A and B are shown apart, each in its own frame.
Chain A
C-alpha cells in the first residue's frame, strides 16, 4: 500500500511545475559547503598527524638540561649530560623499551667534487631510522649495527641536501668529504612530510654512525637519547623510569623538570590531535550552518506549497486520507526537493576533492599547501553527512507537513 501511495506522490511531484530551481541551487551550495568543509578538515587533521609523525612515531626524546634544585648535597644549576654507556644501561633496566638510540650533532663542512656547503651532522645508532621515520630510498640503505660496531665511514644523506650536492647524479657509493675526511654515501632519505623538528628539518642533514663521530667531533657526551616504548600505554611509565634511573646515576631529582628535557610525541600528538579534532568540528559546523540556511528555504517553500495545495488536501481527506497520509506526502515532497540539490552538491564536492588530491605533494613545504592538498572522504564523514541530511530533511518537512495534516477538511475544500 505504502509503495503505491509513494508512486502517486512521486507522479504528482514530477508533473507539477517546479519553481524550485533557486532552492535546489541553495541546497546544492549548502551540501557542497558541508562536504568540502568536512573533507578538508579531515585532510588537515590527517596531514598534520602524518607531518607530526615525520618527526617520529611514539617517540620520547631526552636531552640534558640544568638542575633547578639542590639534590643529595649537590647545588642547583648543574649541567646534566649523558654518555653512550647510558644507552645499554637503560635498555637493560627498562624492558618496556622497544628501541633506543643516542644522537649527537655538530656543524660540519660537506663537499662533493667542487660543491661545498655547511650542514648539521648527526651521529646515531641503527634503531634511529624507524623511530625517527627516516628511511632510505630504493637502491640505498640506512646505517646498520655493523656500521656502528666497526665505526665505518659511511654516511646517509637528507634528500634535499643530496639533490643540492649531486644534482642529477646517483649519490650511492660516491665519496663525499666531511670536514675534509672521506665518507662513502650508503643511502639517501625517502621524502616525508615533517612539521615538527629540532635543529632544523631532517631533509637537510648528514647522518653517520655515532661511533664514527669521534673523527669529526671531540665531544664525549651525547646530545639526545631517543626512546620508543614497546606499547603506547607504557609511554608514561617508561618516561618515569628513565628519569629515575638517570636521576640516580647523575644525581638529580627525577621530578626536577629542568634537569632533563623531555619531549613525548605521544602526548604532544594527542594534544595537537585534539586541536585538530576541534578544527574539524568547527569547520563541519560552519558547513552545516550553510546547509541549514538552505533547509530553512525548503521549509519556507513547503509552507507555500502546502497552502497552494489546500484544496487538494481537503479532497484527499474527503476520500479517506488519514492525517499520517498527508504528513507522509509532504515529507516526501521535502525529501524530493532536497534530492536534486544534494545530488549535484555531492557530485561537485567529490570532483573537487578528487581534483585537489591529484595535485602532487611537495615535501619541501611545511606551509599551508601540504595540509590543504589532501582532503578526504572517509566512511565516518559520509555517514555523518547522511545522518545530518536525514535530520535536516525531516525537520524542514515536518512542520509544513503537520500543518497540512491538521487542516480542517471543510475549510480546505472551500479554499480558492
Chain B
C-alpha cells in the first residue's frame, strides 16, 4: 500500500464557524494503481488530493505514505516529501512564466541540491520523453496549452516520484491535446507509476483502472 488513509479528518475553522471537509476517510491505494477521484463541487476531493500530496495536513487521523506516517511532519519535512515522493500536475499548468521549459523542469532538482551535470541529463531525458527537447529554451508563453502541460508533467517527474497527482489535467486543453496527455499518463502507469487523477468527466476516468467517488467529505470505496 503506497497510500494509506486511516480515519482522515479535515476541519476548516474561520472564526466561530467550522466546516468538516473530510469526515473520517479510509483509503487504500496500491503501488502502481491508476485511480480516478470523482465527486461534485464541495465534496472534498480537492482537500483529499491536497492531503495525499502533503500540501495540507489532516486535523485528525493518520496518513501513511509508503509506510511512513506523514501526518505529523513539519512544513520543511513535508517539502521534502513533496519534492521526492509526489509529482503535481495542475489544471492550469502552473509553470514559472519567466523561466524556460528547461528551467521549469529542473526546478524540483534545484530544491534537492542536485548537481548541474545530473540535472542536465535528467532534464534532457524527460523533455525527450514528452517530445519537447527542441523547445527547451522556450518560455511558457511561447508554448501551446498541450505543450505546457507536457512540460509540467516532465517537471512532475523530475525527481522520479512514485506518485503522480493530477488535478483535472485536461481541463484547460482541447480534446486532442487532452487525449495526448492521457495517453502519456497511460504509458507512465504502464511503466509502473502510481497515478491519482481528479476529474469530473467519466470519459477521462475511463483511462484509469478504478474510480473513487467522494461525496460530502466521505469516500465511497467502489
Contacts and interface: CB of A to CB of B under 8 A. Distances in A.
Physical interaction between A and B: yes
Given A317-B82, A320-B82, A321-B111, A8 B56 contact: no
Binding site of B, secondary structure by majority: helix, strand, loop or mixed?
helix
A194 B145 CA distance: 79
A319 to B, nearest CB: 5
A25 B185 CA distance: 51
Interface stretch (B26-34, B37-45, B92-100): B92-100
Contacts of A312: 96-97
Nearest to A4: B110
Interface in B56-79: 56, 75-76, 79
Interface stretch (A9-17, A38-46, A112-120, A296-304): A9-17
B106 to A, nearest CB: 8
Interface stretch (B83-91, B194-202, B213-221): B83-91
A324 B56 CA distance: 18
Among A5, A15, A318, A410, the most chain B Cβ lie within 10 Å of the Cβ of A318
A409 B46 CA distance: 13
B55 A318 contact: yes
A322 B98 contact: no
B98 A320 contact: no
Contact of B82 (A4, A5, A8, A319): A319
B112 A320 contact: yes
Contacts, number: 74
* Interface range on chain A (Cβ under 8 Å from partner): 20 to 34
Nearest to B93: A315
B180 interface: no
A319 B99 contact: no
Contacts of A322: 75-76, 79-80, 111
Contact of A16 (B84, B98, B110, B114): B98
Nearest to B119: A4
A319 B107 contact: yes
B108 interface: yes
B84 A15 contact: no
Contacts of A324: 76
Contacts of B94: 311, 315, 318, 413
Contact of A320 (B103, B108, B119): B108
Contact of B55 (A1, A4, A16, A409): A409
Contacts of B119: 4
Given A1-B113, A320-B80, A410 B98 contact: no
Contacts of A190: none
A311 B97 CA distance: 11
A410 B113 CA distance: 24
B76 A8 contact: no
B159 interface: yes
A292 to B, nearest CB: 31
Interface of B: 50, 53, 55-56, 75-76, 79-80, 82-84, 88, 90, 94, 96-99, 103, 107-108, 110-114, 116, 119, 155, 159
Given A4-B110, A11-B99, 17 more contacts: A1-B110, A4-B116, A4-B119, A12-B99, A311-B94, A312-B96, A315-B90, A316-B107, A320-B111, A320-B112, A320-B159, A321-B111, A322-B80, A322-B111, A323-B79, A409-B55, A413-B55
9 contacts: A4-B119, A12-B98, A317-B82, A318-B94, A320-B84, A320-B159, A410-B50, A410-B55, A413-B90
